[in-house]
Amino acid sequence: MEPKEFKQERTLVIIKPDGIQRSLVGEIIKRFENVGLKLVAIKMTIPAPDFIEKHYTLDPEWRKTTGEKNIKNYKDKGLALPCDDPYKIAEIVLNNLKKYMSAGPVIAMILEGAHAVKIVRKIIGSTEPLTSDVGTIRGDYVLDSYEMSDTDGRAVRNLIHASGSIEEAEKEIGLWFSPKEIINYQLVQERILYDINLDGILE
């Protein structure tokens, strides 16, 4: 990766329908602005269930890894498994996600900056709000768990989606945004964040 590209890493973030309904849009975007990331694209939309399926299955391994992760979670908690086929479990998770993510408006955005993917994942916290760290968005603003969402037969409400890797980000950005929706501009603060000797001249 070229040094310039490194500072222009991009990630896709979606504020899920519960984030909108909880009036947390400003609070969530503030966290990303505070850390120094730059918003280069943003839109509000109500995604169709098929579009959500596409989003989650951009990674051909998603069904396998999600099913296996789910089985491990059940076993770790000593809970009875609905079945032991990871693909069947992933299908249940996917159907719940399709209902959840298309239930109302969402806000999709692209954030740009050094280590954008990892920095955003750190700020949002781990997947299940019950166990996400205090100080993270999922840890501080919601109280859901796999146990409660599974009992109620719905997806876990964790407010936000963010790409898990640079490759995932590239695929997701391509699905959610066309190149002309992405704005190339400079933020004043980039001088301080990235300038080598703080003299205001970008090397």
Binding site for Mg ion (CB under 5 A): 164
Q: Which parts of 135-174 interact with ligand GDP (CB under 6 A)?
A: 146, 149-150, 155-156, 158, 161, 164
Nearer to ligand GDP, 41 or 132 (CB): 132
Minimal CB distance residue for Mg ion: 164
For the question of residue 161 being annotated catalytic, the response is yes
Minimum distance of Mg ion from residue 178's CB (angstroms): 23
Nearer to Mg ion, 40 or 163 (CB): 163
Among 73, 95, 102, 145, binds ligand GDP (CB under 6 A): 73
The residue among 177, 162, 197 whose CA lies nearest residue 37 is 162
Which is nearest to 25 in space by CA: 15, 17, 34?
Answer: 15
11 contact choice in Mg ion, ligand GDP, none (CB below 5 to 8 Å, kind-dependent): none
List of E strands, the chain: 10-15, 38-45, 106-112, 160-162
Establish if 97 lies at the interface with ligand GDP (CB under 6 A). yes
List, in sequence order, every residue forming a beta bridge with 10; answer none if it has no partner: 112
Starting at the edge strand that comes first in sequence, how are the strands of the sheet with 38-45 ordered?
Answer: 38-45, 106-112, 10-15, 160-162
Contacts with ligand GDP by CB under 6 A lie at: 66, 69-70, 73, 93, 97, 127, 146, 149-150, 155-156, 158, 161, 164
Catalytic annotation, residues? 161
